[in-house]
Amino acid sequence: MVTITAATAWVLSTGVLMAAVAGQEAPGESNLPFLYGVYTVTWATFFAYAFYVSRQQRELRRQIEELRRVLEERDK
């Protein structure tokens, strides 16, 4: 989580710096760094969530297998 927070801060600060330099561009293009920043943060958040869910699912599978083993031993 700390890495995601640091990456988010870096992307947002980069977008702010790029927007400050972008004062010489066309009016619509000045928002492109922010759009890129939000796009990057969104995908990073998605992949972090997918990783978190996969870890939780792995833990649940491990617990289910452990419960099955306990029940099998108990039935013997």
pLDDT for position 16:
55
Q: Are 29 and 22 in contact (CB under 8 A)?
A: yes
pLDDT for position 61:
98
How many other C-beta atoms are found inside a 10 Å radius of the C-beta of residue 54? 10
Query: Which tens digits make up the pLDDT trace of 16-45?
Result: 555 555 556 677 678 899 999 999 999 999
Place of tokens 């992949």: 47
pLDDT for position 50:
98
Neighbouring residues of 33: CB distance < 8 A, sequence distance ≥ 6: 14, 15, 16, 18, 19, 22
Helices (H), the chain: 2-21, 32-75
